Chain A
Amino acid sequence: MNAREQWVALGTIVRREVMRILRIWGQTLMPPAITMTLYFLIFGTLIGSRIGTLHGYTYMQYITPGLVMMSVITNSYGNITSSFFGAKFGRYVEEMLVSPMPPLVILGGYVAGAVLRGLLVGAIVLALSLFFTHLTVVNPWVTASSVLLASVVFSLAGFINAVYARKFDDIALVPTFVLTPLTYLGGVFYSVDQLPAPWREISHANPILYMVSAFRDGMLGAGDIALGPAYAVMLGLMLVLGWVAITLLRRGVGLRS
């Protein structure tokens, strides 16, 4: 395939993913909007009003970037696992496997679809937050790049999960037992500076902490971790997971006999 044909193929996958997200908006866009509204209401307004300030911001303002990032991460991951595993389960992944598309185009198309859903949900959550608080963006570049990198990282992780999954339970295990605990312990609702030793140090092994911190730094200018290490972790994970995903796809693990 020449470069122009590869762009057409990439656009086809992305378009198909976006159509899927919009077709089942009740499953893809609505639930995070409802869940996050409840978070804003309960943690932000009812409980948050009694907590006081963190790094000079109201609790509601402080947790909003974390909740946006949590939505982006879970929705990017969830989109690619359900979509790619669904294609495997229904066998229509063969439509792509028997085509001349290189593995990188297939991976790129699915990751782009997952990132688009993550960012769309993130935008919805951010818009909803404005009903409860007012927000500023201190550094738009850091804000945009950190949310994009986090979305790509968890899209790639979700793709790897979907490649290995043999049944629907397999794509539910990681979000339930790994992703949710890491997210809740990744500084979404608190600053790791508040934690006593050794929990503060242990928290630094959680990659989500770096993503939430960088995003919060971009929006509020109040991150727990310096931007340098945060970007190093995100870029490093993106490269490693990207390499694993493309290798699995090239070898046809879980896809070709």
Chain B
Amino acid sequence: MTTAPALDIRDLRKTYPNGVEALKGISLTVEAGDLFALLGPNGAGKSTLIGILSSLVNASGGEARVFGVPVHARRSEAMALIGLVPQELNLNQFERPLDICINQAGFYGIPRRIAGERAEKYLRELKLWDKAEHSSRMLSGGMKRRLMIARAMMNEPRLLILDEPTAGVDIEIRRSMWQFVQGINRAGTTVILTTHYLEEAENLCRNIAIIDHGRIVEHTTMRALLAKLDVETFVLDLAAHCPDALPAPEGIALRRIDEHTVEAELPRGRDLNGLFAALSAAGIAVRSMRTKSNRLEELFVRLTAPGKEAA
């Protein structure tokens, strides 16, 4: 077994024929066994990067290696190691889910008997087995997304790339997809995940890179990134109507969200006594309080805000 990283990218560049420079020299390493988040706003270069890794896009410069195998120079070997769940639906709507999975295995040279067993395994795990012989066009959006994951697993890849797999999927199905992804990651598959649900990345991933304007603007552990967050936001549910004028305790920003909800932003680690004292003095009673969960979102907005483009 090789000790090479699951993904090793050096100075990867892509300029499209229309002159758009989608990647401006990206370098990135994802260790084997990782569950890695790749985040970035729309148009940042994520899909171009994934396109190059899956050989759908030709790089203009630089090199990408998957478990030490160069994607461009040894395409066939590299592709055998990768499973891809693309952002856009790309299923043959006229085929049955079972056939889609078995055919996909066939494209990797996997005999039909083994392909059939794997198709049943992954369609069952993704709760699609009862739809295996239905027409794919009859599946719901969430089912189609899960079918694309099952299809990507047919070659049992060492590196699974999921490009916004939970977009438009309800929370129950999203959670079952998280469980599946965590399960295969525990079993040894390296996973790279792009998502717009930052909570998803925060909950699932150990390491993260943020890409913006074709450059990596952050590449670190999720823990280290979140530690950079120097403010915390709390959501307060009020017992009565929120007055129009809120108190202004020193160093704490209070924001009225609606007539029963207020958000308080205060420096990380600061005690809450001053906040409650000010609220009590203003006659505002707090019924309950919770931490605003999307902490990563705050960092993401800061890192990719206009004017933050890396030089």
Partners in one complex: yes
Interface range, B side: 35 or more
Q: B76: which A residues are within 8 A, CB to CB?
A: 1, 100-102
Residue from B51, B84, B93, B112 in contact with A90 in the complex, judged by beta carbons closer than 8 Å: B93
A70, CB-defined interface residue at 8 Å: no
Give Cα A186 to B283, complex, Å. Answer: 95
Contact status A16-B103, CB under 8 Å: yes
Task: Say which one of A5-13, A53-61, A127-135 lies at the interface with B.
Answer: A5-13
How far apart are the CA atoms of A252 and B151 in the complex, in Å?
23
Name the one of B88, B107, B109 contacting A95, with C-beta atoms under 8 angstroms: B107
Q: Which of B57, B77, B94 lies in contact with A257, CB distance below 8 A?
A: B57
Q: How far is the CB of B273 from chain A (nearest CB, A)?
A: 57
Q: Once the chains bind, are A12 and B58 in contact (CB under 8 Å)?
A: no
A92-B109 contact in complex given A100-B77, A100-B79, A252-B58, C-beta closer than 8 Å: no
Q: Does B194 contact A (CB under 8 A)?
A: no
* Minimal beta-carbon separation of A195 from chain B (angstroms): 45
- A84-142 contacts to B, CB under 8 A, are 87, 90-92, 94-102
Shortest distance in angstroms between B74's beta carbon and chain A's nearest beta carbon? 10
**B104 interfacial by beta-carbon distance below 8 Å:** yes
Q: Is the CB of B110 within 8 A of A95?
A: no
User: Given the complex, which residues of A lie within 8 Å of B108, measured CB to CB?
Assistant: 1, 5, 9, 99-100
Contact between chains at A23 and B106 (CB < 8 Å): no
A contacts, CB < 8 Å to B = 1-2, 4-6, 8-9, 11-13, 15-16, 19-20, 23, 87, 90-92, 94-102, 252, 256-257
Binding site for A on B (CB under 8 A): 16, 48, 51, 54-58, 75-77, 79-80, 82, 84, 86, 88-95, 99, 103-104, 106-112, 151, 155
- Jot down 15 A-B pairs with beta carbons below 8 A, ordered by A: A6-B109, A8-B112, A9-B108, A91-B88, A91-B89, A94-B86, A95-B107, A98-B82, A99-B79, A100-B76, A100-B79, A101-B107, A102-B76, A252-B58, A256-B55
